[in-house]
């Protein structure tokens, strides 16, 4: 169930709370997309502290090592992206761009946000830096038949989503008309 949640692009923090101390079960849970794992018994103080820690990271923040979308799996520790076991050949900047877009899957991401978060520089409206990298990444994703679509929303930004998913229009604050 957790893998389906993650492959649908959901970034809801998940903390597994279980009685098993089996290392392989813990690894399977974390590999499936859990953000943390607690073995019972645990004090209420520790449990609440771990939940607060996850919530402090804010919406979209993930501590898990793998991010899933469509047929893609991005491993944030090894910096590898695979589709059906085959590794995609991405530059480090394409990897950072894809990671940011996957974490914001289904949402419009502006050029300014990408400049700030991926390139760590202030937005220059005359620059085509983002557009050039998005075009190369889009081409690689299409060639790999990755099960995702990277679209440009004219005047707004970019959206990465699973093939076939519709993206609701969003206003300047990222609120979609579907959620209003």
| Second CATH level (architecture) for the domain 66-179 | Orthogonal Bundle (1.10)
Here the tokens at position 168 are 């609701």
The pLDDT-based confidence of 49 (bands split at 50, 70, 90) is: confident
Is 75's pLDDT higher than 90?
Answer: no
Distance CA 67, CA 69 (A): 7
Is 180's pLDDT higher than 60?
Answer: no
- Closest by CA to 97, choosing from 130, 67, 127, is 130
User: Integer distance in angstroms from the first to the last C-alpha of the chain?
Assistant: 28
Decide: 98 and 74 in contact? Cβ < 8 Å: yes
Q: Which of 40-49, 54-63, 75-84, 118-127 has the lowest average pLDDT?
A: 54-63
Share above pLDDT 70 across residues of the chain, in percent, rounded to a whole number: 81
Most confident range (mean pLDDT) of 39-53, 87-101, 155-169 is 87-101
Can you tell me the mean pLDDT for 43-52? 80
- Closest by CA to 125, choosing from 115, 139, 135, 133, is 115
Is 62's pLDDT higher than 60?
Answer: no
Is 55's pLDDT higher than 50?
Answer: yes
Q: Which of 1-15, 71-85, 147-161 has the lowest average pLDDT?
A: 1-15
Residues in the chain: 180
Is 90's pLDDT higher than 60?
Answer: yes
CATH fold, domain 2-56, is Rossmann fold (3.40.50)
The boundaries of every CATH 3.40.50.2300 domain in the chain are 2-56
The boundaries of every CATH 1.10.10.10 domain in the chain are 66-179
More confident: 60 or 55: 55
pLDDT at 166: 55
């Amino acid at each position: 169930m957790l893998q389906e949640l993650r492959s649908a692009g959901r970034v809801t923090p998940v903390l597994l709370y279980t009685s098993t101390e089996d290392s392989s079960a813990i690894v399977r849970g974390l590999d499936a997309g859990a953000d943390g794992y607690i073995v019972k018994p645990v004090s209420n103080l520790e449990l609440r502290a771990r939940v607060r820690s996850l919530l402090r990271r804010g919406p979209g923040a993930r501590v898990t090592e793998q991010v899933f979308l469509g047929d893609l799996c991005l491993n944030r520790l090894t910096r590898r992206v695979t589709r059906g076991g085959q590794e995609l050949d991405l530059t480090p900047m394409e990897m950072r761009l894809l990671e940011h877009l996957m974490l914001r899957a289904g949402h419009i991401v502006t050029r300014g946000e990408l400049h700030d978060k991926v390139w760590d520089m202030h937005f220059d409206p005359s620059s085509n830096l983002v557009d050039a990298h998005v075009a190369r990444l889009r081409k690689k994703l299409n060639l790999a038949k990755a099960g995702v679509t990277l679209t440009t929303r004219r005047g707004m930004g970019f959206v990465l989503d699973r093939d076939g998913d519709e993206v609701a229009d969003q206003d300047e604050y990222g609120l979609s008309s579907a959620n209003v």
